[in-house]
C-alpha cells in the first residue's frame, strides 16, 4: 500500500529546492567560511596560535561576529522567499488554484525551508569535527558534546528565526514589510522596555533607568542574547523557552494561514483587526523615542519631553497611516477622532505618572522587610559603573542609616529637582534586597552637601567601604603593579616582585578602609593611579588589568611604604619637581564644566602671587583639585621639565600666608 502523508507534497518540496535551493547553498558557504575556514586560519597563524587557542572555549567563539551575521540573516531570507507567493495577487491565485490544501502548502514549504537551512549546519559541523580531530590544540579544548551543542543551538535559532519570519509573513502582504517587521519583533521587547525605562526616568523621581537597563535585558532579544553566547551559554530554561516559542510560531503561522484572505496580497497588514495594533503601536514607540531623545539632549527638560511626545506621536501616526493606506492622501475626519482618543489616553497616563498617583516616589521599604542594602554614591570610592558586581550589606545599623538617608532625599524632592543642571553631580544609587526575594532600586542626582549630615554615617562607615573595596578576587591574582603620577610629568613605577606587591596591597587596604567621610568626599585630585594586572608570559600578547584605583593624599600608609622602599620620588609629584606656583583669585563668574581653566586663568587680571617656598608648594599639592565647583582660587604650576598645569583650590585650602599676600 502506498503511504500517503496528508501534510506534505514531494512536488512542492522539489520545486522549492530547485527555485530557492540557492539560499541553502549560500548558507552553507557562509557557515564554512566562519567556522571551518577560520579554524584553519588560526592553525596556519603560528605566531598567534597559542593566544587564540587559549581564548577559545566553544565553537561559538570562532568568528563570533560572522556567525551572528549569517545566523540572523539567511533564515529570514528563506522565510521571505519560500512564502513570497503570498505577497502578490497573481502568484497567490495561481498557487491556490491547484488541488492542494493550504495545510499541505504550508507544511511542505516549512519542511523544505528547515531542510535547506539545517543541512548546511550539519555539513559545517562535520568539517569542523574533522579539523578538530586533526589539530591537537582544538582537539584538546573542543569536545564532541561541544560540537553537538553548537549544532543544536545553531539549528534551534535558525528554525526559530525562519518560523518567526513565516509567521510575520502571514500577517503582512508585502515582502519588504515582512523583513522589517521580523527584525522589529526581534528587538521589540528590549526596545520597548529600554524606551520605557528612559522615559520613566524623566517622569518619576528616583526611577533608575541605568540600573534596570543592565538587569539582564539582553535575554529579551535573541540577537542581543546571542552576542553573549560565547561567554554566557544558553541555560536549559532559555533553550526550553526557545523551543516552546518555535512550536508556537509554527502552530500560529498555520492557523493564520488558514484564515488569511488571499485577496489581501499587497496590503501592509492583511487582517483589519491588526491594523489598529500596528498603527497605535508605531505611534507609541515613535512617541517614546522622540520624548527620550529631546529630553536627554536638553538635560531632562520637561518642556522638551512634552514636545518630543507630541512631535513623535504625530510623526509616528502619519507614517503608520501612510503605510496602511499606501498613499500620501491620508487626511480624513476620522483621523482627528482616532488621534484625539489616543492623545487623551496618553495625557491621562502622563499626568498619573508625573503626579505620582501610584505613590512610587514615596515608597520606602520598612526595616523589617529589608534583608540587605547596596549604596553607590557617585564615583568617590569605586570610579564605578552600572553593571559591576554589587556587594550588598546586611548590617542592621548600616541598613538603618541608608534608609534614613533615603527618607531625607524623599522629603527634599523639591530642592533636588530645582538644582542647577549646569553643574555635574554624580548619581547616587540605592538598591534594597527584600526578604521576599524582591529588589527596590532608586537613583538620585544631587549635591552631596545637601545631605552631608545623613551621608556622613553612611559613606564614612566601614560597611560602605567594605562593599566598595576594589581589590576583589580577580585582583588577588595580579602579579604586576604599575603606579604613575596623575600630573603631566613622567613618573611611573612597575613592580613584579610578588612580596612587594603583597605588601602594597596590604597598605592600600589599610588606607582604603581607614578613610574618613571627609577623605572620601574631598574634591582633592589623587596624586597617582595604580593598576594591578596579571601577565602570563606563555600566552602571546596576554595582559589583562583587573583593578584600577586612585592614590589619594589621605593614603599615608601607602606613601610610607613607597618612601621606605625609595619609590615615592619615582611616582609622586613633589615640591622638588616644581619651579614655581602662581596663585590668583577668580571673579566668581567661572563654570569649570564649560570653560577651560587655563584660558580662564590667562584672562584674570587680579593680583597674582608667585610661590617658590617648598613648604607652601607642598601644602598646595596636598589640597588642589583639577575640578571643584566650589573652588575660587586658580593655580598655575610650572615643572622643572618645562610643562605647565592649571588647577584650582578652595579658599579654606589656600595657605594663610598666600591668602594674606593675595589681598
pLDDT over 60 (residue 385): no
pLDDT exceeds cutoff 90 at 119: yes
Structure confidence at residue 589 (pLDDT): 64
Over its C-alpha atoms, the chain yields an Rg (Å, rounded) of 32
Across the range 396-400, mean pLDDT stands at 94
Four-point Cα dihedral 620, 625, 629, 630, nearest 10: -20
pLDDT-based confidence at residue 383 (cuts at 50, 70, 90):
very low
Residue 557 reports pLDDT greater than 90: yes
| More confidently predicted of 591 and 117 | 117
pLDDT of residue 288: 87
pLDDT at 1: 39
- Which one has a higher pLDDT value, 590 or 563? 563
Give the burial string for 47-81 (b: 16+ CB within 10 Å, else e).
Answer: eeeeebbbebebbbebbbebbbebbbbbbbbbbbb
Q: What is the pLDDT of residue 110?
A: 94
Mean pLDDT of 188-203: 82
d(CA 417, CA 309): 21
For 568-602, write each residue's pLDDT tens digit.
Answer: 999 999 999 999 999 998 876 655 555 678 888 88
**Beta bridge partners of residue 559, listed in sequence order:** none
The 543-551 sheet, strands edge to edge: 492-495, 480-485, 528-535, 543-551
pLDDT of residue 167 exceeding 90: yes
Long-range contacts, stretch 85-92, CB < 8 angstroms, 24+ apart: 86/169, 86/170, 86/173, 86/260, 86/265, 87/169, 87/172, 87/173, 87/174, 87/175, 87/178, 87/265, 87/266, 88/265, 88/266, 89/262, 89/263, 89/265, 89/266, 92/262, 92/265
Residue predicted with more confidence, 479 or 441: 441
- DSSP string covering 363-417: ----GGGEEEEEEEETTSSS---TTSPP--B--HHHHHHHHHHHHHHHHTHHHHH
How would residue 386 be classed by pLDDT, with cut points 50, 70 and 90?
A: very low
Question: What pLDDT was estimated at residue 423?
Answer: 66
Domain boundary assignment for the chain: 10-268, 280-354, 367-467, 475-571, 575-662
pLDDT at 241 over 50: yes
Cα–Cα distance measured from residue 483 to residue 569, given in angstroms and rounded to the nearest whole number: 12
> What is the average per-residue pLDDT within 342-363?
88
41 membership: H or E segment, kind and range = helix 36-44
pLDDT in tens, 484-497: 998 888 899 999 89
> Which carries the bigger pLDDT value, residue 207 or residue 543?
207
Q: Dihedral of CA 495/496/500/503: which sign?
A: positive
Q: pLDDT class for 555, splitting at 50, 70, 90?
A: very high
On the question of pLDDT at 70 being above 80, the answer is: yes
pLDDT at 367 over 80: yes
Amino acid at each position: 500500500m502506498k503511504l500517503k502523508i496528508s501534510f506534505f507534497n514531494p512536488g512542492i518540496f522539489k520545486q522549492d529546492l530547485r527555485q530557492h535551493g540557492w539560499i541553502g547553498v549560500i548558507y552553507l558557504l557562509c557557515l564554512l567560511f566562519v567556522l571551518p575556514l577560520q579554524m584553519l586560519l588560526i592553525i596556519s597563524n603560528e605566531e598567534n596560535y597559542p593566544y587564540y587557542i587559549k581564548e577559545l572555549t566553544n565553537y561559538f567563539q570562532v568568528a563570533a561576529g560572522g556567525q551572528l551575521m549569517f545566523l540572523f540573516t539567511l533564515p529570514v531570507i528563506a522565510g521571505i522567499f519560500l512564502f513570497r507567493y503570498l505577497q502578490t495577487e497573481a502568484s497567490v491565485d495561481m498557487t491556490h488554484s491547484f488541488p492542494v490544501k493550504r495545510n499541505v502548502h504550508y507544511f511542505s514549504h516549512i519542511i523544505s525551508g528547515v531542510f535547506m537551512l539545517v543541512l548546511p549546519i550539519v555539513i559545517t559541523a562535520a568539517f569542523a569535527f574533522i579539523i578538530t580531530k586533526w589539530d591537537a590544540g582544538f582537539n584538546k579544548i573542543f569536545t564532541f558534546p561541544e560540537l553537538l551543542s553548537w549544532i543544536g543551538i545553531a539549528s534551534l535559532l535558525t528554525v526559530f528565526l525562519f518560523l518567526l519570519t513565516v509567521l510575520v509573513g502571514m500577517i503582512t502582504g508585502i515582502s519588504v514589510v515582512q523583513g522589517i517587521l521580523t527584525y522589529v519583533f526581534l528587538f521589540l521587547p528590549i526596545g520597548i522596555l529600554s524606551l520605557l525605562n528612559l522615559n520613566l526616568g524623566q517622569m518619576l523621581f528616583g526611577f533608575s533607568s541605568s540600573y534596570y537597563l543592565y538587569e539582564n535585558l539582553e535575554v529579551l532579544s535573541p540577537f542581543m542574547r546571542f552576542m553573549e553566547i560565547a561567554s554566557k551559554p544558553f541555560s536549559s530554561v532559555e533553550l526550553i523557552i526557545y523551543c516552546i516559542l518555535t512550536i508556537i510560531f509554527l502552530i500560529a503561522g498555520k492557523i493564520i494561514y488558514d484564515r488569511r484572505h488571499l485577496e489581501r496580497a499587497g496590503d501592509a497588514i492583511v487582517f483589519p483587526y491588526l491594523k489598529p495594533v500596528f498603527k497605535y503601536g508605531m505611534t507609541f514607540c515613535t512617541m517614546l523615542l522622540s520624548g527620550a531623545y529631546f529630553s536627554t539632549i536638553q538635560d531632562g527638560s520637561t518642556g522638551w519631553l512634552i514636545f518630543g511626545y507630541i512631535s513623535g506621536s504625530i510623526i509616528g501616526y502619519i507614517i503608520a497611516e501612510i503605510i496602511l493606506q499606501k498613499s500620501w492622501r491620508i487626511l480624513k475626519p476620522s483621523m482627528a477622532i482616532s488621534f484625539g482618543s489616543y492623545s487623551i489616553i496618553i495625557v491621562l497616563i502622563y499626568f498619573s505618572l508625573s503626579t505620582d498617583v501610584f505613590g512610587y516616589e514615596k515608597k520606602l521599604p520598612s526595616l523589617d522587610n529589608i534583608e540587605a542594602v547596596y549604596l553607590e554614591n557617585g564615583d568617590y570610592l569605586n570610579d564605578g559603573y552600572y553593571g559591576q558586581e554589587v556587594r550588598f550589606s546586611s548590617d542592621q545599623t548600616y541598613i538603618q542609616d541608608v534608609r534614613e538617608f533615603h527618607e531625607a532625599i524623599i522629603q527634599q524632592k523639591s530642592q533636588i529637582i530645582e538644582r542647577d543642571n549646569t553643574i555635574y553631580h554624580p548619581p547616587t544609587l540605592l538598591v534594597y534586597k527584600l526578604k521576599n526575594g524582591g529588589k527596590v532600586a532608586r537613583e538620585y542626582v544631587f549635591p552631596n552637601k545637601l545631605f552631608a549630615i545623613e551621608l556622613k554615617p553612611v559613606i564614612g562607615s566601614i560597611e560602605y567601604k567594605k562593599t566598595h573595596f576594589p581589590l576583589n578576587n580577580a585582583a588577588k591574582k595580579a602579579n604586576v603593579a604599575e603606579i604613575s603620577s596623575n600630573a603631566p610629568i613622567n613618573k611611573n613605577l612597575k613592580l613584579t616582585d610578588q612580596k612587594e606587591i603583597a605588601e602594597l596591597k596590604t597598605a592600600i587596604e589599610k588606607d582604603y578602609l581607614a578613610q574618613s567621610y571627609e577623605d572620601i568626599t574631598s574634591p582633592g585630585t589623587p596624586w597617582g593611579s595604580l593598576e594591578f594586572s596579571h601577565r602570563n608570559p606563555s600566552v602571546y600578547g596576554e595582559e589583562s588589568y583587573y583593578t584600577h584605583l586612585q592614590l589619594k593624599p589621605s593614603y599615608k600608609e601607602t606613601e610610607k611604604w613607597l618612601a621606605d622602599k625609595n619609590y615615592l620620588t619615582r611616582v609622586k609629584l613633589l615640591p622638588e619637581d616644581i619651579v614655581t606656583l602662581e596663585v590668583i583669585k577668580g571673579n566668581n563668574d567661572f563654570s569649570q564644566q564649560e570653560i577651560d581653566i587655563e584660558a580662564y586663568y590667562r584672562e584674570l587680571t587680579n593680583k597674582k602671587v608667585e610661590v617658590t617656598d617648598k613648604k607652601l608648594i607642598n601644602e598646595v599639592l596636598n589640597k588642589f583639585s583639577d575640578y571643584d565647583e566650589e573652588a575660587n582660587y586658580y593655580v598655575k604650576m610650572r615643572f622643572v621639565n618645562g610643562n605647565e598645569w592649571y588647577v584650582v583650590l578652595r579658599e579654606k585650602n589656600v595657605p594663610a600666608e598666600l591668602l594674606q599676600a593675595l589681598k
